[in-house]
Structure 1
Amino acid sequence: VIVSTFLLFNYGELETNPINLWVNENSNVFQEKQYYDEHFGPFYRTEQIFVVNETGPVMSYDTMKWWFEVEHHITNNLISDEKISFQDICFKPNGDACVIESYSQYFHGILPDESTWEYELQTCSDTPVMCLPDFQQPLKKNMLFSSDDVLNSNAFVVTLLLDNHTQSANLWEEKLETYLLNITVPEGLRLSFNTEISIERELKGNNDILIICISYFMMFFYASWALKRKWGENRLLLGLTGILIILSSLICASGILSFFSIKSTLIIAEVIPFLILAIGIDNIFLITNEFDRVSAVYKKYTIDQRIILAVQRIAPSIFISMVAQCGCFFIASVVSMPAVHNFALYSAVALLCNFVLQLTTYISILSLYEKKYGVTSLPDEVDDQSNSRIFNGYFNLISKKRKLLGVFASWSLLSLVFIPMIKLGLDQKMAIPQDSYLIDYFNDVYEYLKVGPPVYFVVKDLDLTKKENQKELCGKFTTCNKNSLANVFEMERERSTITEPLANWYDDFMTFLNPELDTCCRVKKGTTETCPPEFSPRLCETCFKDKDWDYDMTGFPEGNDFMKYFKIWIESPSDPCPLGGKAPYSHAVSYNDSTIISSVFRSAHKPLTNQQDFIDAYIDADRVASSFDNLDVFAYSPIYIYFAQYKGMIELTLKLLSSAILFVFITSTLLFGSLSTAAALSLTIIMILIDIGGLMKLFKIDLNAVSLVNLVICVGLSVEFCIHITRAFTMIPKGIKNDRDSRIRHAMLTVGKSVFTGITITKLIGVSILAFAQSQIFQVFYFRMWLALIFVAAIHALIFLPVLLSMIGGTAYIDNLANENTVSSR
């Protein structure tokens, strides 16, 4: 079976596209991205560079001279192995000049004179329309400098846009990355940058496989030592077998799900081995310890008889735990977000495979091992721990029931105060190594970038050849609808994160037709042929010369005339008429010969400096787009696809965890036959989750898809901590008193040690290695969060749950397979 699934595993795929991790293909935000790409082309690739002086103004003539040389080399001389240059793959809205958003373009890349550079730079940044770059779009100073006082800015920003999405662009970006990493920067300056491929390359380099291997080796050595017999004999083979079975369950799960085309992810590949190791090794301890306990009491039984008896005793507890944990993960798999959905499926199937292999393969190997290496005679004395100092102190502690309940209740109430303070988001810096060059870049974005991400409002299926529909979009004219697109956005600029004026192509188009603007819509005199820009004004006349045109929209073209003049406008450059549509709007309107299919209205958010800002920006844009009753419109920005998940994250988290706990309650009620016992178990898990929530705030762990998966894991691992004690409390051997205190004493003496050594300690060993992981995602969301889980779950399972069961625990059932004498063997 393992070999067969391994063959299937080889056909599995690893999902590395971040978009496919956070949104489902059927989600609105994904469909909107697809629509935008199909009608306006994929969003251009962005290369961004910061040059920073942290102690004073970044601008000086020497700095300017150095940067002009660097920029010229990048945009003209930097050649990839395919002989591709920036000029071959850059974004050219006019068809000839590349978009280079840099202050150098105020001067068309030609170094100004040393005596006048300050005046010219200040003048151009104050009135950018007077210093248009070759691509004919004004460069506002907030796009280029960290301050409105450009001469005293601490940083300048350069952005290069690529309009090529093939391997050629990747290869050129690799050359750019290498060049910038090795560039010599003038003293006192610092350079940071990001290319389109940077994050993916850094993520691939952020490999924590070594950490996983070390964790497995440490678990092997601990298991081999902890599984030793009471008289000191180590069982290395059993420890190794346990680890190999866990690895085999991972292979089986991957093979099965690969067969159904369910892709793995980097998080799945690096986290599930820890999860299955943490749960799987627990069962190895439970099975082996139960066999040792049975062997100590039933010395005359054959090994096969002891194995059967041990399995009969412990398998129901392991089965209940498996059902509860798999159920939690299968519930989580209903979430459409692929990162959560796939993780939950891989976890559930891996746990199921682990359960089957442990109760078949491991049992078989344990039987063979004991037959070959087992001792022929067992010691007559059994280590009686029921009266040991440690256990007496422990039972004395949990006898203080009301005080302990007060402490735990106060802890949970305090945690409830902190839970609403948990922030949403996942900082990109956490996903990359802490020594990555991108850390400086992200810090500079938050510190020095004074323009927010663009937002595009896409209007679909609106027949703009009709004037009543035109009034739904316009803003410059007196008869525009009060709640038109442009008017609503003007109001939104005062109260939302969308602050930039709306680039309204319709307003510019109609103003372009104004006959008083003799440099705009021109035709050759006496004809309908468009006048080229270089033609003398004496040879041309305005195309609306003899037509009505007024700000109340009188005379505005409709029907076929609308498309006739639109085609003139969309091909007109920005020089001599800045209202020409080719440069700013050639990629903003999707049309055919008879109508406008859809169009884009561009704005931008305020500078966004943290994750909550990005989330608020998406929520604002989505709210605005949904407010138009008469328009089919949606908001698009390349960042939205990563932040759409947070719109319903809190509700999703509550529903998911509530469903998981409800499933645990129903399952435990059916399997234990007691509502009160199931309620005690479920209440303990709820309190663990509440306390984990409080620690998330204290440990600065934000709520996102990664931590949501972890919270689902928390439910599963909490079940693992608590379920065995609960069953031992419910199923008691003959001879044990049927009062709650005696039953909880029996439960803690029989399985309490396994919960501590086989569950708590094993998890601590596995998690402690994560402190040395390269990425903060591992350090924060797995080391800190799992460490908190182990600490909280262990305390609740070993102290709070016994107290609660001793007070409200339900009916006990006699376990005919057990014997009261076996209690002492624990």
Structure 2
Amino acid sequence: MISCWQKTEVDKNVEFRLAETYKEAGVSITITTLTDVLAFYIGLLTPFRSVQSFCMYTSTALLFCYIFNITFFGACLALNGRREKGNRHWLTCMKLPEASGDSKGCCVGGTYDKSTRKEYDMPIDSFFKNYYGPFLTTVWVKMLVCLIYAGYLAVSIYGCFQIQEGLDLKNLAADGSYVGDYYDEEDEFFSDFGPNVMLVIKNEHFQYWNPAARESLDLCLENFLNLTMADSGIPPISWLHAYMQIGQNAGFDLDNETQFKGKLTSFLIQSGFSQDVNFTNNQIHASRVFIQTVNVSTAIDEKNMLNAFRETADKCGELQMPVDLIVYHPAFIYFDQYAVIISNTVQNIVVATCAMLVISLLLIPNPLCSVWVTFAIASVIVGVAGFMALWDVSLDSVSMINLVICIGFSVDFSAHISYAFVSSEKSSANEKATDAIHKLGYPIVQGAVSTIAGVVVLAAAKSYIFRTFFKIMFLVILFGAVHGVVFLPVFLTFLGACSKSRVKNKQNLPEHSDTSEQRVKVVLSPTGQQMNVCADPDCY
């Protein structure tokens, strides 16, 4: 908005300048806000509560930022415009002497370019207009940009196939924590053994003293031991097996419910199995046994183990005498995400990208350019996903949150450039691209640099979560800015269709003999006399 304000004619009234600012910037910030907010609200579809909370907070914050920009910030621009109109100092608001027009000092008022009636271009604006834009639109540079983009896309796609699933639990602890040392030594000395999985019999009506029920339970445990990730050489840790063995040696009739329950309390206290059976009020409400897993080292192994154990538990409930089981381990809260992380990530990206396309089609007055915006979004997402894998970032709930951010922020730069290209009144595609870069090159670079500067401190953080946030935000902003000021302007010049409609409309407008002269709208009064209604140069 500031960039658009600086490009308005300074001698116009504040209302006109603010209207021109909103005309140029309003649609762009509306597109980016709608797409950002929608992308984060789509993130609510994920089953992870942490991601849902983040998306709800961020989308609501962006919505309030948008309202703030089109109301309060616009009012601040209007007040600043009145200060400029009154020729007052930017800090003290004291009256200043009239500027001669060629002075650029900060202690004089109203300096502007007399030929354009606008504020002087900043040096970087002049660079984009006079040097970078014409350089980028030359034929050989376009070919070079296409080759660079092909290389970028190839590396990104290669990286996508290298993505590792899963969250290493030691990454949840701060660097240097003893937790990290514990997991490192566990991997070194006990890498052959996986989690000791708990099988919980939750049916309080299960008859442990019934031989048929015990046989059904043994069959169920045998099914677990036959799994590839379970070691059949390591018997289950079962309080029931130990109890039956002791009862058999002592000559107890444990097939009798009364004797079974009567001897159970003393057995649990003496054997150390008291934590494995919930025996209260002469009723076994639940109990558990343990199965040792082996050769479970990667996130894929953990996901497969979790699914296999749950499927086997479901089959136990289908036996002739059903055994109602649930499988549990404290790490399952992390293994659960591995089962759905890829499908949910793909779902969020596809749905959000389609939503971006719909919004772009509604607000950008050219369907083909809207498709290019969507293409740029997909390109940035592929690049971030590929390079984050090459930067040693795995796909987990932490990086998934950041990929949702990627969906939102990747549209910002491309939407601004595309809309500026389509709305430009230049005649040729190359001139349109140069004009769009001139208008938005500096704001894009400024926004990218300031955002990266804001998160670069996280690169030295002692937490994996913060470092991951920095890495993905850095990639998102970097690739988004490069697409905005390098790739997309070049690709848009290949689309003559994007620039035809406005040129045709402009050619159909009535010609004016001198656009610099003041035009006066004349109407007749009821008495037949002429009345000058509007003397504004742009009123006709």
TM-superposed deviation, 1:401:
4.1
C-alpha distance 348-747 of structure 1, shift in aligned 2 (>3 A): same
C-alpha distance 696-362 of structure 1, shift in aligned 2 (>3 A): same
TM-superposed deviation, 1:623:
3.7
C-alpha distance 656-301 of structure 1, shift in aligned 2 (>3 A): same
1:279-294 matched pairs, under 5 angstroms: 287-294=1-8
Tell me how far apart the structure 2 counterparts of residues 387 and 428 of structure 1 sit (CA, whole Å). 51
- Is structure 2 residue 495 aligned with structure 1 residue 752? no
1:589-628 matched pairs, under 5 angstroms: 589-591=277-279, 596-606=284-294, 614-628=302-316
Structure 2 equivalent of residue 365 of structure 1: 76
Runs of 5+ in structure 2 lacking a partner?
Answer: 84-88, 91-108, 507-514, 517-540
Which of 740, 745, 752 is matched with 2:429 structurally? Answer: 740
**SS in structure 2 of the partner of residue 682 of structure 1:** helix
- Is structure 2 residue 44 aligned with structure 1 residue 348? no
C-alpha distance 602-388 of structure 1, shift in aligned 2 (>3 A): same
For the 8 Å contact 1:434–1:775, the answer to whether it is kept is: yes
Can you list the C-alpha shifts for 1:524-548, whole angstroms capped at 9, x where unaligned? xxxxxxxxxxxxxxxxxx334xxxx
Question: Which letter maps to 2:245?
Answer: T
Structure 1 equivalent of residue 223 of structure 2: 488
TM-superposed deviation, 1:724:
0.4
Tell me how far apart the structure 2 counterparts of residues 448 and 387 of structure 1 sit (CA, whole Å). 63
For the 8 Å contact 1:590–1:599, the answer to whether it is kept is: yes
C-alpha distance 432-489 of structure 1, shift in aligned 2 (>3 A): closer
1:303-322 matched pairs, under 5 angstroms: 303-322=14-33
TM-superposed deviation, 1:640:
1.0
**SS in structure 2 of the partner of residue 785 of structure 1:** helix
For the 8 Å contact 1:509–1:581, the answer to whether it is kept is: no
Tell me how far apart the structure 2 counterparts of residues 729 and 660 of structure 1 sit (CA, whole Å). 24
Structure 1 equivalent of residue 106 of structure 2: none
Tell me how far apart the structure 2 counterparts of residues 500 and 365 of structure 1 sit (CA, whole Å). 73
- Is structure 2 residue 463 aligned with structure 1 residue 775? yes
C-alpha distance 497-761 of structure 1, shift in aligned 2 (>3 A): farther
TM-superposed deviation, 1:771:
2.0
TM-superposed deviation, 1:712:
1.0
Tell me how far apart the structure 2 counterparts of residues 411 and 354 of structure 1 sit (CA, whole Å). 33
TM-superposed deviation, 1:489:
2.5
Can you list the C-alpha shifts for 1:203-247, whole angstroms capped at 9, x where unaligned? xxxxxxxxxxxxxxxxxxxxxxxxxxxxxxxxxxxxxxxxxxxxx
C-alpha distance 421-724 of structure 1, shift in aligned 2 (>3 A): same
Which of 259, 266, 283 is matched with 1:565 structurally? Answer: 259
C-alpha distance 784-428 of structure 1, shift in aligned 2 (>3 A): same
Tell me how far apart the structure 2 counterparts of residues 625 and 347 of structure 1 sit (CA, whole Å). 39
1:199-238 matched pairs, under 5 angstroms: none
Structure 1 equivalent of residue 135 of structure 2: 393
Which of 220, 223, 239 is matched with 1:505 structurally? Answer: 239
Runs of 5+ in structure 1 lacking a partner?
Answer: 1-286, 475-483, 521-541, 545-555, 574-579, 822-826
Which of 421, 425, 430 is matched with 2:162 structurally? Answer: 421
TM-superposed deviation, 1:616:
4.8
Query: Which stretch of the first structure deviates more once superposed, 619-628 or 742-751?
Result: 619-628
**SS in structure 2 of the partner of residue 665 of structure 1:** helix
Tell me how far apart the structure 1 counterparts of residues 232 and 336 of structure 2 sit (CA, whole Å). 17
Can you list the C-alpha shifts for 1:325-354, whole angstroms capped at 9, x where unaligned? 100000001223111001001110000111
- Is structure 2 residue 474 aligned with structure 1 residue 787? yes
Query: Which stretch of the first structure deviates more once superposed, 606-615 or 374-383?
Result: 606-615
TM-superposed deviation, 1:466:
4.7
**SS in structure 2 of the partner of residue 300 of structure 1:** coil
C-alpha distance 634-747 of structure 1, shift in aligned 2 (>3 A): same
1:346-745 matched pairs, under 5 angstroms: 346-372=57-83, 373=89, 375-380=109-114, 382-383=120-121, 388-396=130-138, 400-401=141-142, 404-449=145-190, 452-461=194-203, 463-464=206-207, 466-474=210-218, 484-492=219-227, 494-496=228-230, 500-514=234-248, 517=249, 520=250, 542-544=251-253, 557=255, 561=256, 563-573=257-267, 582-591=270-279, 596-606=284-294, 614-628=302-316, 629-630=318-319, 631-733=323-425, 736-737=426-427, 739-745=428-434
TM-superposed deviation, 1:485:
1.3
1:812-823 matched pairs, under 5 angstroms: 812=499, 814=502
Tell me how far apart the structure 2 counterparts of residues 316 and 415 of structure 1 sit (CA, whole Å). 31
TM-superposed deviation, 1:393:
2.2
TM-superposed deviation, 1:377:
4.3
For the 8 Å contact 2:136–2:142, the answer to whether it is kept is: no
Structure 2 equivalent of residue 12 of structure 1: none
Q: How many residues get paired? A: 468
Can you list the C-alpha shifts for 1:530-586, whole angstroms capped at 9, x where unaligned? xxxxxxxxxxxx334xxxxxxxxxxx72xxx2x31222342234xxxxxx7753432
Question: Which letter maps to 1:308?
Answer: A
Question: Which letter maps to 1:797?
Answer: G
C-alpha distance 513-442 of structure 1, shift in aligned 2 (>3 A): closer
Give me the CA root mean square deviation: 3.0
Can you list the C-alpha shifts for 1:650-675, whole angstroms capped at 9, x where unaligned? 11110011111011011111112433
Question: Which letter maps to 1:719?
Answer: V
Structure 2 equivalent of residue 480 of structure 1: none
Question: Which letter maps to 1:445?
Answer: E
TM-superposed deviation, 1:784:
2.0
For the 8 Å contact 1:447–1:609, the answer to whether it is kept is: no
- Among the aligned pairs, what percent are the same residue? 22
For the 8 Å contact 2:194–2:297, the answer to whether it is kept is: no
Question: Which letter maps to 1:446?
Answer: D
TM-superposed deviation, 1:415:
2.3
TM-score (normalised: structure 2) = 0.78
